Amino acid sequence: MDHNHDLRNDAGKQLKTKEEPFAAGNAAAAERMQLAMERISRIPEDTGVPEPFRDFFLTAGAFLERIFSLRRALADGSFCRESLAEMQRRQADLYRDMLPEHYAASWLNPAAAVKKAGPGYGRLLSALYAELFSLLRFVFEGREDDALPVLEIFLEICAMFSAGEIPKEQEIQDALYWYASDYLDITVPQRVRECLTPSPDPAFSLYHGMDPRDLRYLFFSGDYISEETLETARYLNALPEDAAEKAAAALVTGYEEGFRVMGRDLKRKKTCEIRFVRGFERLVLRASELFEERDGLRVILPGTAARLSERIPGRSARQNSLSPNRQFDFDHRFDAAIFWDKAFTDRKLAELTAAYESMKEEASLFAGPAVMEYFGEAPFEPLLCEEAYAFRPRQQKLLNSFLTSLTNLRDRFIPGEETSFSIISWPIPAIGSSYDQIFDSILRINTLENEKWRAVQQKIIDVLDRCDHAEVRGEADNETRLRISLWPLSHPERETRFENCVSDVNIPAGEVFTSPVLRGTEGLLHVKRVYVDGILFRDLKIRFENGRTVSATCGNFDSEEKNRRFVLENLCGSHEVLPMGEFAIGTNTCAFAAAERFGIWDRLPILIAEKTGPHFALGDTCYSHEEETMTYNPDGKAIVARENEISARRHENPEEAYFGFHMDITLPYGEIGAVTAVMPDGSGIDIIRHGRFVLEGTQELNRPLDSGTGDA
């Protein structure tokens, strides 16, 4: 008899049992954790596992031993006594296989795993190893009950390979399926509760009871802490008080302004969420204080969604920290393909419904998110990993349906007409040696005077409200030729097509936007270089017919199929066809000039980049799920272009009306030949010509472009 095989099976069975509740700190959980640790420590003794699988379990087991070492250091207090350098070394050891210098040959890399173990086993084991990293958050937060299922699934699959037996690939996939599905009744309500429950003490949640000047506090979060994160924290912690106050207040003021301009009652709300990345704690804490002082809102600071089953497929795993390896995140973004089927999505939606129902009071008091984004990392051109998981068409259809149902569910408990948001973005030191100057410039851009911008933008809207349609043409080798159909105005004296957008919810100021009529919207959008979500697209070309995409490609790869797939997965949310959900004209020439001055075009986030020229959104309109809520411009005119022919289906078939997706693509001023309002008689009035504003009353927007300083 193989004693190791017997014990492993027993351990797997014991850990798999869900008879006992996973109550934090209970004796059963502690006993099971100890059993798991002992079993994992004896993996090297089990010589019956054939290669290359033995190498995998030894590698993953060694990682888990490092996790257990961290757990002991946290429990006995020795971690608290480590120096910053020692914490960094420990982190580097934990993330060793994920770091770029080791990733190429790591089991975490699907390509390397497939080379070692074949396509079926390799992908499954690579995904399993990636899931083990969820343990880091659980260990730092003392959540042993959440750690146990992760250890269970590892031991269960390890047991399958004992005594020279090699399980079928389907057996491993089934085990991972039930791991993801079985615990949804625990993980879903826990995550919903985390996202609706205010932090008792934001300062402690951010600094873990430590002196903000002692940057070791960052390492108690459970998130990856890079050199960039440390440099960001050092810079922001030393920022002059007035600058820090201005930066924090911009987010809060934009949030309040969003409620005001949309006519919503913020006083009825009690909580809001701040989303941020590690290193920005000083600004987050001050914003938290301002929300409570000015609006009586208690702040929610949810942690990163650690488990694969908690994340939305196709999106980055890391919400609260810079990634140690963006290629790793890219390769594993569709690992949920292992278990994403109708039964799983139905069960998850059922658990989400029950969770929101149990917290409907908390949900009704939630005002919405305030988002503090970052930018400045080096551009990322991911390698296409053919061995990585990808969603099949049926899974993509299920995902789209799930996202629509999820949006409807959230809107039921957190009605969109009662909430708002704000979003702002700040640079990090990776943006370059002129970081101080860049930060100061972005601070000025993020706090531009609303009234001045609003008045200039109204000049553009007045012309666009009189025209028949708009045309956009590229300059020189830019091949853009687009005709955009616009919503008809029955009562132009009290109706408008375009929203006059300044620094309220979407900071910084600087755009007018509308939902185009799809019928008659035709042509080619061409951008020579554009960065979307940090990913570079070269020579991007998207063709529209009746407002819908009919082809999309780029020049990133030497294969047309690779280019098409790359755009489809990373720009179109894997949707084969998407409508043009938005047509906008960005007016923030200050941001454009600053990008030119500092040479940071490749680092700008879409939040700022979309204000630096005409932009077009693929997917839902800006008024998705809020079409019935009347919105007005400051001049009192009602914005009537709130839907299109697709979102109009929401009454009969909501699953066909929405995509749960909205992606902006900007055509920068330098590539614009003309943006023209074409009048009913066929004449044209240029708004932009050869990259400059030429419409009467808008020429002052050219001042930052001509001076090159980025100042208004």
Domain count, the chain: 3
Query: Residue 516 falls within a domain, yes or no?
Result: yes
- Tens of pLDDT, residues 298-349: 999 999 899 999 999 987 666 789 999 999 999 999 999 999 999 999 999 9
Query: Residue 187 falls within a domain, yes or no?
Result: no
Query: Residue 436 falls within a domain, yes or no?
Result: no
- Tens of pLDDT, residues 645-670: 999 998 888 778 888 789 999 998 88
Q: Are residues 503 and 367 in the same domain?
A: no
Note if the bond before 508 is cis, omega within 30 degrees. yes
Task: Provide the pLDDT for residue 570.
Answer: 87
- Tens of pLDDT, residues 249-290: 999 999 999 898 888 999 999 999 999 999 999 999 999 999
Query: Residue 176 falls within a domain, yes or no?
Result: yes
From 401, 422, 443, give the residue that closes a domain.
422
Residue 155 has pLDDT above 60, yes or no: yes
Task: Provide the pLDDT for residue 21.
Answer: 33
Q: Are residues 120 and 244 in the same domain?
A: no
The rounded distance, in Å, linking the Cα atoms of 327 and 383 is 7
User: In terms of residues, how long is the chain?
Assistant: 712
Task: Provide the pLDDT for residue 24.
Answer: 41
Q: What is the three-class DSSP state of 545?
A: strand
Q: Are residues 117 and 72 in the same domain?
A: yes
- Ramachandran category for residue 349: left, alpha or beta (phi over 0 → left; psi -120 to 50 → alpha): alpha
From 129, 146, 180, give the residue that closes a domain.
180
Query: Residue 186 falls within a domain, yes or no?
Result: no
From 180, 206, 241, give the residue that closes a domain.
180
- Tens of pLDDT, residues 491-548: 999 999 999 988 788 899 899 999 999 999 999 999 998 888 778 899 999 999 999 9
Note if the bond before 52 is cis, omega within 30 degrees. yes
Q: Are residues 418 and 520 in the same domain?
A: no
Residues 6+ apart with CB under 8 A from 2: 48, 162, 163
Q: Are residues 204 and 171 in the same domain?
A: no
425 phi/psi in degrees, rounded to 5:
-135, 140
Query: Residue 128 falls within a domain, yes or no?
Result: yes
H helix intervals, 266-392: 281-295, 326-331, 342-358, 360-364
Beta-bridged to residue 380, according to DSSP, are: 535
Q: Are residues 508 and 371 in the same domain?
A: no
Tokens matching residue 453: 């911008």
pTM: 0.88
Please choose, from the candidates 143, 155, 223, the residue with its C-alpha nearest in 3D space to the C-alpha of residue 186.
Answer: 143
Considering the chain, what is the average pLDDT of its residues? 91
The rounded distance, in Å, linking the Cα atoms of 147 and 134 is 8
- Tens of pLDDT, residues 587-632: 999 999 999 999 998 888 888 988 998 999 999 998 888 888 888 8
Query: Residue 448 falls within a domain, yes or no?
Result: no
Q: Are residues 79 and 175 in the same domain?
A: yes
Q: Are residues 172 and 95 in the same domain?
A: yes
> Does residue 338 contact residue 173 with C-beta atoms inside 8 Å?
yes
DSSP string, 451-502: HHHHHHHHHHHHHHTTSSEEEEEE-TT---EEEEE----S-TTTEESSEEE-
Q: Are residues 164 and 273 in the same domain?
A: no
Amino acid residing at 423:
I
Domain holding 498, by residue range, is 454-707
Q: Are residues 235 and 374 in the same domain?
A: yes
Q: Are residues 460 and 589 in the same domain?
A: yes
pLDDT > 90 in the chain, percent:
76
The rounded distance, in Å, linking the Cα atoms of 499 and 634 is 9
Residue 25 has pLDDT above 60, yes or no: no
Residue 3 — very low, low, confident or very high, per pLDDT cuts 50/70/90?
very low
Query: Residue 224 falls within a domain, yes or no?
Result: yes
Tokens matching residue 363: 């949900």
Amino acid residing at 80:
C
The rounded distance, in Å, linking the Cα atoms of 520 and 354 is 44
Q: Are residues 382 and 501 in the same domain?
A: no
Residues 6+ apart with CB under 8 A from 614: 472, 583, 584, 585, 586, 666, 667, 672, 675, 688
